[in-house]
Structure 1
Amino acid sequence: MKLRHILFTLALAVTCSSKVFAADDVLRVATDATFKPFEYVENGKRTGFDVELIEAIAKAMGRKVEWTDIDFKGLIPGLISKRFDVAASAIYITDERLKVVAFTHPYYTGGLAIMVKADNTSIKEPADLNGKKVSVQVGTKSVSFLKDNYPKVERLEVEKNQEMFNLVEIGRADAAVTGKPAAVLYANARPGVKVLEKTLTVERYGFAVRKDEAALTNAMNQALEKVRADGTYAALVSKYFGSGK
């Protein structure tokens, strides 16, 4: 009986250690794959700048990526509750978010932009937004930015990026406020809309990590520097944005 107990204990230890190793070998990442060119689904496959960059970072860390799809507004709460390890979904690094989560080094710079119909003559600059109907995505900085800076705007808050653009195209919204890279890409494919040249803000994108995961944040930062140094990062920027940055 003693021998059987010892063998059982050893087997349990091996099983547990293998599970720990397996967990260490996986990077659990969540995204809202509805924000082209950062993350989206094409031909049934998740892809985009953030997706490929995370895959490259994980490879440099010797890990595999386990993806979770979730609405944008649930990314930070899900991260804090340990549903996953990283939130990668074109997330701006803001003071408000830094109070509850940590971020990797910035990996791209963008900003909030205004998209309107191509024949719109009433909105020529940011100040013209006041008194207009503006579509924004729930949980994004666009919502709080308009609240704080354009109190006379009537916000139309929607769940998905596509809905936000659609409201402008069908005339239910006078404008949409969102990240410039996504707005420009959409406008390039849709001659009926345009993006104003002057942006509302300059923002830095980062991958969100829990505050108690400093080792993971550092490892991701080191891996990010590796993919910058070996040319992978520049190739992805060129692929998704058309120019180096």
Structure 2
Amino acid sequence: MQHSTSRWTMLAGSAAVAAAMFAFPSSAALAANATLPANDHVLRVCADPNYLPYSNRAGQGFENKVAALVAKAMGRKLEYTWASYRGHGGYSNFLAENLDARKCDVVMNLPYGDHEESYTKPYYTSSYVFITRKDTHYHIRSMNSVSMHSIKIGFESDTTPETAIKLLDLINNAVAFHVASNPQASPRELLQAVQDGKVGVMITWEPAIGDFLKDYPDLQVARVPSEEYGPGLPTVGYTYGMSMGVRKGDTALKHALDKVIAREQPEITATLAQYDVKLLPNPRHVNFPNQ
């Protein structure tokens, strides 16, 4: 994870799920919340109240739908703690002030392999993508594509693509977007920037824009492949498994969620498909750590 960790920033490279330290709550806050009794009849989820396509208070996001599915499968009532992922301190602070502070027990979006929290098996795997207009002839299929040197590149700040853009000396022809750190912004803005010709290509996390693509029929999407950018450098991967996060030590809940994910995976996959989240069931290169 990185300093202003959001959904995209926590997907900031093969080692970046551990790149920033959490701002832990005070010992007094933990003590005050530690008395909360375990409740096997409730699934307490922390979520963003206004960040579609992921979640909102009305329950319209794909994470809302998956949370409801999981709670039902566990025979529990679903309860939310609402807090913005994109406030001060980003996703790291969100986790510290909510999950670690025991205001909830589960978050629906943690990269598989996170070093600060415990995590379930992935319930979906997806990728960063290139977005271009269909009426262009850029033929962009990798970060090394020739066209990348002649067109304006858009990217979400503090992510794996930004690292690659700098390594490949493309940064002077690129512009950073900050949707993931602005609570008032929408991932639609990334698509609109391509539609309006502000950038020739946008590089972003596919689940963020999949549900909005139906409103942009002139745009096309291609997955960003894993690549090596120099001798001796590790392969940079753009594909990530996404898990549900629980506090470290909460093994009973982790195992219970793993069982539900395994049993309900077909329905979870169908739910994600309704939001046009493109899945990679057997990716060749994916950022899964060895266990």
TM-score computed with the length of structure 1 as normaliser: 0.69
Structure 1 residues 109 and 163, CA gap change in structure 2 (3 angstroms): same
* Deviation for aligned residue 1:27: 0.9
Show CA shifts across 1:4-30 (max 9, x none). xxxxxxxxxxxxxx9636697341322
Q: SS at 2:37's partner residue?
A: helix
* Deviation for aligned residue 1:199: 4.5
Structure 1 residues 220 and 20, CA gap change in structure 2 (3 angstroms): same
TM alignment of 1:26-175, pairs within 5 A: 26-31=43-48, 33-36=50-53, 39-40=54-55, 45-61=58-74, 62-72=76-86, 74-81=90-97, 82=100, 84-89=104-109, 91-93=110-112, 98-126=114-142, 127=144, 128-130=147-149, 132-138=151-157, 140-144=159-163, 146-147=165-166, 150-153=168-171, 154-159=174-179, 160-175=186-201
* Deviation for aligned residue 1:52: 0.9
1:146 & 1:87 partners in 2: Cα distance?
Answer: 31
Q: Does 1:232 align with 2:267?
A: yes
Structure 1 residues 202 and 236, CA gap change in structure 2 (3 angstroms): same
Supply the AA of the counterpart residue of 1:194.
Q
Q: Does 1:192 align with 2:218?
A: yes
1:136–1:155: 8 Å Cα contact kept in structure 2? yes
Structure with greater helix share of residues: 1
Percent of aligned positions with the same letter in both sequences?
17
Supply the AA of the counterpart residue of 1:75.
Y
Aligned residues: 218
Structure 1 residues 130 and 87, CA gap change in structure 2 (3 angstroms): farther
Show CA shifts across 1:96-141 (max 9, x none). xx22223211111211110012222235322233464333334655
* Deviation for aligned residue 1:45: 2.4
Q: Which residue of 2 aligns with 1:211?
A: 248
Largest Rg, 1 or 2: 1
* Deviation for aligned residue 1:212: 3.6
Bigger shift: residues 161-170 or 121-130 = 121-130
1:75–1:87: 8 Å Cα contact kept in structure 2? no
TM-score computed with the length of structure 2 as normaliser: 0.60
Show CA shifts across 1:23-77 (max 9, x none). 97341322375353xx255xx8232332211111122332423142413572233
